[in-house]
Amino acid sequence: MDDRSAANVGVVVAGFALAAAALPWGTPGVGPVENVALAALGVAALGAFSLRRRDLLARRSGSLAAGIASLGVVGYAGTATAGTLAGGGESIPSLWGPALALVGGLGGVIAAYGDGRGLPESLGRAVKATAWSLAVGFAGLFAIAVWSGVLISLLSGLFPGSIGTASRLAVGALGLGLGTGSIALVYFQWTDKTVAYLDFRIPTKRDVGYIVAGVVAIFALQMLVTVVFAELGIQTADHDIEQAAAGGNAGVLLLMIPASWLIIGPGEELLYRNIIQKDLYGTFGDWGAVLVGSVVFALAHIPAYSAGATSVAALVSTLGVILSLSLVLGTTYHLTRNTTVAALVHGTYDAVVFGTMYVQMAGVA
């Protein structure tokens, strides 16, 4: 019996493409399906991979069918984002659909190629580890959304009336901490890890040096990217917090400064470095884990920037910037194996960015 690990991964990524069909595409749907054509392609890919997984289809024919369907998902999503297929020339209501479709389609093409070529099991493990990392990263987003929704409902019950922007951002920050913490607890239960697995430690003198170097490096890289993008005329997307502040609520940025150090930095570094990157070491090695973990971190920021993206190109450019900054955070964690170090670099970066935004928007001299 041949190795079908690539087909197993294909089932997972085909599920992403199928789920994307339920998201807003601006086309007539059937029941919960918003995009019928995408749903058909997703079902075809999922079916082919499932049959390959159970060895009910031969390697060549099964992988070929799965690959063609996955390639169709990629082509459809690309054409739709250009406004010539699903959008009818208009913008797509949400970029979540195309993003998940592209992830599922590209992942399906790679999985189908690996299955068809009968590549070594080690590659299958690498693909599965990547898919697992994406699943954990997006599970974190889901947990954050759930906690934020619960907290907003409680707040609405205690204080009837409209909830202001500042309150929503405060709840969002708290939801981030609770969401990432919840996923960490589930991970510990699932893998039988103990509290000793956590790498939050008081920084040593050596760690302090890495904190300073990390902060300098991340801002130097940010400045370099800003200059290069300005010269090339490349646009980026605005974060949803920046959009809220630009709407006349600049004061909310002051709230986000302490939240950067106390919640955002520690919460995101716990999930993406202490759990995801650390778990990837055994599969990809040291620097491979830094790279793959950073890609997952960048993709997880799609929801925060999708609403502020004027185009898919702007969103992709922004994700590229986040990827480069994440590489700095991943490197500081790898060199110190101390999540506190990465959290302080991350928190300092966010705090300075929020402070700078406030100065610019509030007109503080």
Identify the pLDDT of residue 33: 64
Q: What is the pTM of this model?
A: 0.70
Identify the pLDDT of residue 307: 67
Q: pLDDT-based confidence at 48, cuts 50/70/90?
A: very high
Q: pLDDT-based confidence at 246, cuts 50/70/90?
A: low
Identify the pLDDT of residue 8: 86
Q: What pLDDT digit, counting tens, does each position of 65-79 carry?
A: 999 999 999 888 877
How distant is the alpha carbon of residue 33 from its chain centre? Answer: 24
User: Which of residues 91 and 76 earns the better pLDDT score?
Assistant: 76
Identify the pLDDT of residue 188: 92
Residue 143 has pLDDT above 90, yes or no: yes
Average the pLDDT over 129-136 and give the result: 90
Identify the pLDDT of residue 85: 47
Identify the pLDDT of residue 84: 44
Identify the pLDDT of residue 89: 46
DSSP 3-state of 19: helix
Q: pLDDT-based confidence at 47, cuts 50/70/90?
A: very high
28: left (phi over 0), alpha (psi -120 to 50) or beta: beta
Percent of the chain whose predicted confidence (pLDDT) is above 90: 39
Identify the pLDDT of residue 147: 93
Identify the pLDDT of residue 115: 84
Residue 348 has pLDDT above 60, yes or no: yes
Average the pLDDT over 40-64 and give the result: 91
Q: Tell me the sheet residues that pair with 33.
A: 30
Identify the pLDDT of residue 177: 93
Q: pLDDT-based confidence at 153, cuts 50/70/90?
A: confident
User: Residue 259 corresponds to which tokens in the numbers above?
Assistant: 């939240």
Average the pLDDT over 115-139 and give the result: 81
Q: pLDDT-based confidence at 163, cuts 50/70/90?
A: low
* Domain boundaries, given as residue ranges, for the chain: 5-119, 134-362
Residue 361 has pLDDT above 50, yes or no: yes
Residue 1 has pLDDT above 50, yes or no: no
Average the pLDDT over 167-194 and give the result: 90
User: Which of residues 203 and 156 earns the better pLDDT score?
Assistant: 203
Q: How many CA atoms lie within 13 A of 282 on its CB side?
A: 6
Identify the pLDDT of residue 88: 45
Tokens 């709230």 correspond to 255
Residue 5 has pLDDT above 80, yes or no: no
3-state SS, the chain, equals: CCCCHHHHHHHHHHHHHHHHCCCCCCCCCECCECCHHHHHHHHHHHHHHHHHHCCCCCHHHHHHHHHHHHHHHHHHHHHHHCCCCCCCCCCCCCCHHHHHHHHHHHHHHHHHHHHHHCCCHHHHHHHHHHHHHHHHHHHHHHHHHHHHHHHHHHHHHHCCCCCCHHHHHHHHHHHHHHHHHHHHHHHHHHHCCCHHHCCCCCCCHHHHHHHHHHHHHHHHHHHHHHHHHHHHCCCCCCCHHHHHHHCCCCCHHHHHHHHHHHHHHHHHHHHHHHHHHHHHHHHHHHHHHHHHHHHHHHHCCHHHHHCCCCCHHHHHHHHHHHHHHHHHHHHHHHHHCCHHHHHHHHHHHHHHHHHHHHHHHHCCC
Burial level of 229, CB count in 10 A (0-12/13-18/19+)?
A: middle
CA–CA distance, 332 with 329 (Å, rounded to integer): 5
Residue 90 has pLDDT above 60, yes or no: no
Q: pLDDT-based confidence at 261, cuts 50/70/90?
A: very high
Among 56-65, 88-97, 182-191, the range scoring the smallest mean pLDDT is 88-97
Q: pLDDT-based confidence at 339, cuts 50/70/90?
A: very high
Identify the pLDDT of residue 86: 43
Residue 34 amino acid letter = E
Q: What pLDDT digit, counting tens, does each position of 271-295 carry?
A: 999 999 999 998 888 998 998 899 9
